[in-house]
Chains A and B, each alone.
Chain A
Amino acid sequence: MLNKIFLPGIFVVLAYGFWISPEFKMIAAGLAIFLFGMIALEQGFKAFTGSTLEILLGQATDRVWKSISFGIASTTLVQSSSLVSLITISFLSAGLIDLAAGIGVIFGSNLGTTTGAWLVAGLGLKVKISAYAMPLLVFGVLLILQKSRVLRGIGYGLTGLGLLFLGIHYMKEGFEAFKETLNLAEYAVSGYAGIFLFMLIGAAATLVLQSSHATLVLIITALAAHQITYENALALAIGANIGTTVTAMLGAISASVDGKRLAVAHLIFNVITALVAVAFLQPLLWCVEEISAGIGIADHDYTLKLAVFHTLFNLIGLVIMAPFIKRLVGLLQRLVIIPAASLDQPRYINKASIEIPATAVESVRNELVHLYENAYRLISHGLSLHRGTIASERDLAEAAASTRRVMPLDIDDYYEHYIKGLHSAIIEFISKAQAQQSSEHLSNELYALRQASLNIVEAVKAMKHLHKNLSRYVLSRDPYVRQLYNDIRVEIATVLREIELIKGQGPDAGTILSLDAVRLGLDDASRKLDATLDEYIRSKHITAQMATSIMNDSGYAYNIARNLVDMAQTLLAAREADLKDAEQKLALNDADIEDVLREDRG
């Protein structure tokens, strides 16, 4: 709705501006080229770095200081806080890093982004960068036309850089020409009224441009052409810092709860930093003068002084806020609460986590664990066994035999609410993520995960069939029937217990090989059940009709257990491709299991 009014409004204002002022047209075109350059640069980094940034983010965020350092370094390197934020939100949404690490990265990124002002003020305005733009664009576009993903990535990077340079050049020229017809500095407002007014303008400009980096370049070029006063430029820079958080908040609407918490943390950081900057503006300016004099910045070089100010106030914000990250996490967890109905809602798969290939796979994996937990709840309830009992070391046969009450369960309702919707969401997400995958390896992973989701649903459906008779006969007065159904319950509960045990060990080398023993145990239990059944039929302890029912139910039980084991094989496998491959090679196939069973009996 807002966009419907806002966007045409901007178009009209811009068109009018272009009509009356060619200089304004030049500045706007420069800004457009600059923004397009940033998009190309991001595209380049996404394609070029592949998973390097992601691997680093996963490894370098176990301590807060590491997260902050990562935020500073990565943003300085890629010159895009939005790319770093995007990856961080993706990681957070996929559950790969915790909120404290995410906040650390975002805080660090805020400081890292200030290096952009230094580059533009120190290099962009001093050197004729447009001369570098042309070759960069030519080489860049030539590389974009290549087939290799890496070369294309470098091409996008070079083109992006060329466009950034060209954009800055046009903005600079535009403001210079503007000076001859209109002096914007005449509209400068001094005092606190000016500070707040220009802060508002800075925030609004960043909201429109969707980039504080672009706003800052605009401010620096305008300041270099003396179109705005130094004082107002400072206020604009503070405003840009606030504006960027609004952009992040809008981006977080589709993110997970932790993604939303991160956006709120960003807002809190930038608002507090801005308040501190405004409240202590005079002492800050004194510091800027001292630092500038100390590092040899000329007295009249206000663009570089603005860069000093920008870095200084963000650094102060970081120093003030960093010790409170843990408390901030606590506050955010209380403020932004996970909706109560989240059991049936996807927790990890969302628009944010689909952006990065590795996080897309990881978020599906985490969501599948969520789906499995719902299925585990349903199956254990259906077996009339508490999850606590299954997870304990208590003898399951004894626990099954001591059951005095059938747990009430509307299995169809539970399936509709907690399984079907989540499964559909996972399948939909995988289809979308697969369309975006260029890597065969990740695409195969997603395919295997889809199969695991189907395994869970198949197990639940088999439980639905089994539940009818199980709830009827679990307390049967006939001791033979009751015993057979108890054996079925123990068979499934044993598999659930083993999966929980393996889950608890984490995706270590060889962990999933334990599932072979589960499969063997399952085949053994199934055979024993058949043997008992045959014996009961022969000795007429149960009727042939009853035996047929139990055989069917035993089939459902086997189906549940096998599907759960197959699911666990995918879900709990080692993450490293080489180890996973080795595990698969060592895993026993049906013939191997048959051999072990034969040796066991022999």
Chain B
Amino acid sequence: MKTKHLLEKLKKFLDADRRAQLAQVDSIEEVLDKLEEKEQKLLTKLEAESDPDERERLEMKLAVCQAQCKKGVQLIEELLVKKEAHGEAPDPG
């Protein structure tokens, strides 16, 4: 039993693909955090802005930021599905 457990651990350690995927998820999450921060700042600016041209510019920036966030979330989901395929439950949250 103990040997089996150790072999399992070794397998996980040697599984470079899985580790690379996890690292990718971490990096994407880090970028997503920054994007969310940026989105909040843009929303605050937008609320305070009255100039229509400037509002249009901010709205466009916001649309891009949201599209990037959406892309990031989709990517994480795809990577987590792959992780599940490795026989492991996805991280909660």
Q: Which residues of A contact B (CB under 8 A)?
A: 397, 508-511, 513-514, 516-517, 520-521, 524, 578-579, 581-583, 585-588, 592, 595-596, 599-600
Contacts and interface: CB of A to CB of B under 8 A. Distances in A.
A524 B27 CA distance: 31
A582 B31 contact: yes
* Pairs of residues from A and B, 7 with the lowest C-beta to C-beta distance, nearest first: A510-B34, A582-B27, A578-B27, A517-B64, A510-B31, A517-B61, A582-B28
A602 to B, nearest CB: 11
A397 B57 CA distance: 14
B47 interface: no
A508 to B, nearest CB: 7
Nearest to B36: A510
Contact of B30 (A521, A579, A599): A579
Contact of A586 (B53, B60, B71): B71
A307 B28 CA distance: 54
A587 B30 contact: no
Contact of A510 (B38, B59, B61): B38
B30 A517 contact: no
Nearest to A587: B68
A511 B34 CA distance: 8
Contacts of B40: none
A513 B63 contact: no
Nearest to B35: A510
A482 B53 CA distance: 20
Interface size class of B (residues with CB under 8 A): 20 to 34
Given A508-B34, A513-B31, A582 B64 contact: no
B48 interface: no
A596 B30 contact: no
B57 to A, nearest CB: 7
Contact of B60 (A517, A578, A595): A517
B64 to A, nearest CB: 4
Contacts of A524: 60
Interface in B29-63: 30-35, 38, 53, 57, 59-61, 63
B30 A509 contact: yes
A47 B27 CA distance: 29
Contacts of A520: 60, 63-64
A596 B69 CA distance: 13
Contacts of A508: 34
A513 B72 CA distance: 12
Contacts of B34: 508-511
Contact of B28 (A517, A586, A596): A586
B78 to A, nearest CB: 10
B70 to A, nearest CB: 10
A578 B24 contact: yes
A298 to B, nearest CB: 53
Contacts of B60: 517, 520-521, 524, 596, 600
Interface in B5-42: 23-24, 26-28, 30-35, 38
B31 to A, nearest CB: 4
A586 B75 contact: yes
Contacts of B1: none
Contacts of A588: 64, 67-68, 71
Given A508-B34, A509-B34, A510-B35, A585 B64 contact: no
Contact of A595 (B30, B32, B65, B67): B67
A592 B67 contact: yes
Given A581-B27, A582-B28, A600 B35 contact: no
Contacts of A585: 28, 71-72, 75
Nearest to B37: A510
A581 B72 CA distance: 12
Given A509-B34, A510-B31, A578-B27, A586 B68 contact: yes
A168 B27 CA distance: 52
Nearest to B20: A578
A596 B63 contact: yes
Contacts of B24: 578, 581-582
A352 to B, nearest CB: 33
Contact of A579 (B31, B53, B75): B31
A580 to B, nearest CB: 9
A583 B71 CA distance: 11
B36 to A, nearest CB: 10
Contacts of B53: 397
A520 B60 CA distance: 8
B93 to A, nearest CB: 19
6 contacts: A397-B53, A513-B65, A517-B61, A521-B57, A579-B30, A585-B75
